[in-house]
């Protein structure tokens, strides 16, 4: 039975890649969502030559969006997920 057991590949690089992609995409989507909901205030601030406040608000929304995307990673995409194992089956799922 041990001869049939397959060598498991390391899933940590995939997980780190998933975290990075989710952080970047979540940041972009968070910034876009902030712009959609606050576009008048942002454009008004830029029109009055005030660039600091809108950029800080967009940055904070981007960071929040990135963190939400990272912390909502599905359980099955984590490296410590073993899959569904039947009670009478002692082998790893394929």
C-alpha 71/C-alpha 11 separation (Å) is: 18
Q: What is the pLDDT of residue 63?
A: 95
Q: What is the pLDDT of residue 3?
A: 47
- Exposed, middle or buried: residue 61 (CB in 10 Å: 0-12, 13-18, 19+)? buried
For 16-49, b where at least 16 C-beta lie within 10 A, e where not — what string? eebeeebbeebbebbbeebeeebeeebeebeeee
C-alpha 37/C-alpha 62 separation (Å) is: 13
Q: What is the pLDDT of residue 79?
A: 78
Token couple for 61: 């929304």
Selected residue with higher pLDDT from 2 and 64: 64
Q: Where are the domains of the chain?
A: 30-72
What pLDDT digit, counting tens, does each position of 23-70 carry? 999 999 999 999 999 999 999 999 999 989 999 999 999 999 999 999
pLDDT at 83 over 80: no
């Amino acid at each position: 039975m041990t001869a049939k057991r397959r060598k498991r590949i390391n899933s940590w690089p995939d997980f780190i890649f998933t975290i990075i992609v989710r952080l970047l995409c979540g940041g972009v989507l968070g910034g876009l969502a902030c712009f959609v909901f606050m576009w008048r205030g942002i454009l008004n601030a830029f029109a009055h030559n005030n660039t600091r406040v809108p950029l800080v608000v967009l940055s904070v929304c981007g960071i929040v969006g990135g963190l939400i995307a990272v912390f909502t990673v599905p359980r099955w995409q984590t490296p410590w997920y073993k899959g569904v194992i039947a009670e009478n089956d002692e082998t790893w799922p394929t």
